[in-house]
Amino acid sequence: MKREYPETPIPAVGAVIIHQGKVLLVKRAKDPARGYWSIPGGAIELGERAREAVKREVKEECGIEIEVGPVLEVVDSIHRDAEGKLRFHYVIVDFLAYPKGLGVCPSSDVEEARWFALEELEEIPLPSGTKELLKRVLSQGL
> Which residues form the catalytic set?
112
DSSP string, 32-56: TSTT-EE-SEEEPPTT--HHHHHHH
Note whether 25 and 113 are within 8 A (CB): yes
* N residues, the chain: 142
Closest CA to 129 of 78, 84, 86: 78
